[in-house]
A and B are shown apart, each in its own frame.
Chain A
């Protein structure tokens, strides 16, 4: 039985934590825009699986990981437009619409995969993004393997944390997003196009979620499988709520989930006597606990899930 306290274990654990947190991080960052603008998109799970599939398909048929990335972003965007249309234009109930899109997404992806690849003995695979070699950074003992030997998508996600914070806090667009989520009527009275802003935010959410799904298929594993999202989309929604719509806190939360997952995998592999199902359920238990702890005081954007229309009085 390997030592649980060895340096190798910790390094592997922390590096794994970062890697495993990435899908949730991508999805959560996108959902921050969406929720900040006042829309609850529960369809993230569905968008992620669509992203996973389109990323894989794009890469498989062109041999280019970049094409895979772009197609994941594109199809994630397209699929999220449905959510936008249902929530903003049709003004349907957002909980139902989002859940429906997640159900639909899973089946749609499964269906398309079968149609495209048929039934094969061995699943088709691609070559994923390789870990980068960042020169001397990658060779620093301990920190090197933990922080500086990931593939490019990992760094993209981490960069997006900064970008998201910057856009929301420092740009005119970000200001409009926040106003639209809090008091759409006030934003409207100042000439802001409320519904356009919301459409943009849902679309950003879709692009990011697509990336999150693609990470699983082309950045981490090397294939697509049904059910590979395993609830991460819904966890991402919860992460957004209890990180109180802040990108940095979302990063922390995503890392905690990643950590729980990474820990479970490694404990299992070194044969520790904790039933692995308990560890597998850790992220989900954690989500409930933190959500409960935060919800009483959480200040949701005031116009959360409320569609806007300029009523005449």
Chain B
């Protein structure tokens, strides 16, 4: 105990709740000085929350924090930085149009106050950069340098401000393989210089290659801590990370599959900056079939869904719905053809937050005969549908004329479900449909998706939650870096899927 508490950082039985969601439950974590310690877990396991607590962005509801043996109360990032804790977030805290030097100078005391001390800081940056092999040019603007370089600027900033403990949140999520190698060299160098590093990740390869120890979190709780040596296998880590517990047991009736409703042939897409985001993807989904698309966030899922609903253009290949080519047509055309979409970010694009429930329900079909005459909307009909949806979907609201922004996340999602499922969709694109929901709402949404299957809808279920994929899918596809890694049956080995999600192709090539 004593030994643990005098470690570089020791978190003891930390608990953090957001409303009725428990992000961390009695989590204990120890960082030994001069080591690289991995924090492993799936999306939503509680890794970022735990580190945000250490960095002063959240306050724990229970538990203690020890830094170098003494208990601390970290109220804000400045406190954390004063204790020598630095953090590199997933979204870099860098001002794009400003230079590296300017970003590092921001908020720091200047020797020549009130004037900026650009030259001295420049010199310091060059010295540090050389020492650790960062290869940073202090005069370049953030928007002009590569993502890998930007990350190094963040690391350098932390070190420059005197960090002894460096937290990196999913640092390789945005790097190319060669940049990842560079990053690991830097981390090794940092370790030699006495830095202690916490590496948050969900990627097994990285944990195995660079960390000395790893703590695994699952569903907000500790799931194990182990030293990394040659005896540790990916399979072992994967099992600890994903677990074998089955939370929900669903009624899955056997539904005869029909013809292919959605066909995607060799589609590719390039984004506004010329970066390839989808490469040569092909798959089909039949009537009554759920194709699960597993994958870690940020591997092209958002773009894939946009492409399949007309919100983004493809640069190659074709998309067919019910046999008809759809690529190149407008979003309205997709809607008219019966393609409905549960968007990833319900608050940003799925719901008009200031509007009533019943109005949100009809944004895609207000023009149909049911809801409007020749010129005017039929408010009575709209209201009836609204009330029915509130009842059918058990939406916690006094009536359908409540502004959607006043509903909880789960109930907001129900509004979207009611809308997207209400029109007997031929194709349903469900993107992270249970993200951010509590257990009850999750169960509800999953059951509804299964019900839709029995109606003969072809469903694409995109989710970062493997458990969900397994529960609901008939077949499982894995997307990594905009490419389809493979499609397997729903009784495929979890490890195999997990490995594909991490970018490692299955050993057996068919």
A residues neighboring B (CB under 8 Å): 170-176, 178-179, 182-183, 185-187, 189-192, 299, 302, 312-313
Contact B107 A182 (CB under 8 A): no
Among A175, A178, A185, the one with the most B-chain Cβ atoms within 10 Å of its Cβ is A175
A179 to B96, CA, bound (A): 9
| Contact in complex: A172, B96 (CB < 8 Å) | no
Please state if B97 and A299 are interface contacts (CB–CB under 8 Å): yes
Establish whether residues B114 and A182, one from each chain, have CB atoms under 8 Å apart when the complex forms: no
**A191: B residues at CB distance < 8 A:** 77-78, 107
- CB contacts under 8 Å to A, within B50-100, are 52, 58, 77-78, 92-98
A171 touches B114 (CB 8 A): yes
Contacting pair A172 B97 (CB below 8 A): no
Q: Which of B96, B106, B110 has its CB near the most chain A CB atoms (within 10 A)?
A: B106
The CA-CA distance from A313 to B96 in the complex, in Å, is 23
Asked if B303 lies at the interface with its beta carbon under 8 angstroms from chain A, I say no
Task: Give which listed residue, B94, B105, B116, contacts A186 with CB less than 8 A.
Answer: B94
Residues of A within 8 A of B106 (CB): 175-176, 179, 186-187, 190, 192
Contact at A189–B115, with CB atoms within 8 Å? no
* Chain B interface, number of residues (Cβ within 8 angstroms): 21
Output the least CB separation between A111 and chain B (Å). 37
CA distance A172 to B77 in the complex (A): 20
Contacts of A313 in B (CB 8 A): 52
Other A-B contacts than A173-B114, A191-B78, 7 sampled, CB-CB below 8 A, are A172-B114, A174-B116, A176-B107, A178-B95, A182-B96, A187-B106, A190-B106
In contact, A183 and B96 (Cβ under 8 angstroms): yes
Whether the pair B116, A183 counts as a contact (CB closer than 8 A) is no
Q: Closest B-chain residue to A193, C-beta based?
A: B107
B interface residues with partner A (beta carbon < 8 Å): 52, 58, 77-78, 92-98, 102, 105-108, 110, 113-116
Write the nearest CB–CB distance from A140 to chain B, whole angstroms: 35
By a CB distance below 8 angstroms, the chain A residues around B78 are 191
B contact residues around A178 at 8 Å (CB): 95, 97-98
Q: Do A179 and B115 contact each other (CB < 8 Å), given the known contacts A189-B93, A312-B58?
A: no
Choose among B77, B94, B95, B115 the residue with the greatest number of A CB atoms under 10 Å from its CB: B95
For B110, give the chain A residue with the smallest CB separation.
A172
Question: Known interface pairs A172-B113, A179-B106, A312-B58. Does A189 touch B95 (Cβ–Cβ under 8 Å)?
Answer: no
A to B CB contacts below 8 Å, 21 in the list: A170-B115, A170-B116, A171-B115, A172-B105, A172-B110, A172-B114, A173-B114, A174-B116, A175-B98, A178-B97, A179-B98, A179-B106, A182-B98, A183-B93, A185-B93, A186-B106, A189-B77, A190-B106, A191-B107, A192-B106, A192-B107
A175 touches B115 (CB 8 A): no
Q: Bound complex: CA of A60 vs CA of B363, how far in Å?
A: 62
Q: Bound complex: CA of A186 vs CA of B115, how far in Å?
A: 21
Interface of B is mostly: loop
Q: How far is the CB of A309 from chain B (nearest CB, A)?
A: 14
Chain A nearest CB from B166 CB (Å) reads 15
CA A175 – CA B104 in complex, angstroms? 11
B361 to chain A, nearest CB (A): 28
In the complex, A182 Cα to B94 Cα: how many Å?
10
Helix, strand, loop or mixed for chain A's interface?
helix
Is the CB–CB distance between A187 and B107 below 8 Å?
yes
CB proximity of A216 to chain B, nearest CB, Å: 32
A179 CA to B108 CA, complexed, in Å: 13
Expressed in whole angstroms, the minimum distance between the Cβ of B398 and any Cβ of chain A is: 28
Residues of B within 8 A of A173 (CB): 114
Closest CB in chain A relative to B363 CB, distance in Å: 24
On whether the beta carbons of A182 and B115 are closer than 8 Å, the reply is: no
Across the A-B interface, give the 10 residue pairs with the lowest CB-CB distance, nearest first: A190-B107, A186-B93, A191-B107, A189-B93, A182-B95, A183-B95, A171-B114, A190-B106, A179-B95, A192-B107
Which residue of chain A lies nearest to B114 when distances are taken between CB atoms in the complex?
A171
- Known interface pairs A191-B78, A312-B58; A175-B105 also in contact (CB < 8 Å): yes
CA distance A233 to B102 in the complex (A): 32
Nearest CB in chain A to that of B113: its residue: A172
Instruction: Report Cα–Cα, A119/B114, bound state, in Å.
Output: 50
Q: Which residue of B lies closest to A184 (CB)?
A: B95
With the chains together, A173 CA to B105 CA distance in Å? 11
Neighbouring A residues of B108 by C-beta, 8 Å: 190
Inside 8 A of B115's CB, which chain A residues have their CB? 170-172
The smallest C-beta distance from B389 to any residue of chain A, in angstroms, reads 30
Minimum CB–CB distance for A27 against chain B, Å: 25
Which residues on the B side are within 8 Å of A189 (C-beta)?
A: 77, 93
Q: How far is the CB of B169 from chain A (nearest CB, A)?
A: 13
Q: Give the docked Cα–Cα distance between A275 and B107 (Å).
A: 56
In whole angstroms, what is the CA distance A232 to B257 when docked? 70
A171 to B113, CA, bound (A): 8
Chain A residues within 8 Å of B114, by CB? 171-173
- Tell me the smallest distance from the CB of B467 to a CB of chain A, in Å: 23
| Contact present for A186 and B97 (CB under 8 Å) | no
Which residues of A lie under 8 Å from residue B77 when comparing CB positions? 189, 191
What's the least CB distance linking B13 to chain A, in Å? Answer: 22
Please indicate which of the listed interface residues A179, A190, A313 has the most CB atoms of chain B within 10 Å of its own CB: A190
> A261 to B95, alpha carbons, bound, how many Å?
40
How many angstroms between the C-alpha atoms of A311 and B77 in the bound complex?
Answer: 14
Which residues in A have their C-beta under 8 angstroms from that of B107? Answer: 176, 187, 190-192
Query: Smallest CB-CB separation from B94: which chain A residue?
Result: A186
A45 CB to closest chain B CB, in angstroms? Answer: 29
- Measured CB to CB, the closest approach of chain A to B117, in angstroms, equals 9
Given contacts A170-B116, A187-B107, A312-B58, A175 and B93 within 8 Å (CB-CB): no
B37 vs chain A, min Cβ distance (A) = 23
Which residues of B sit under 8 angstroms from A171, Cβ to Cβ?
Answer: 114-116
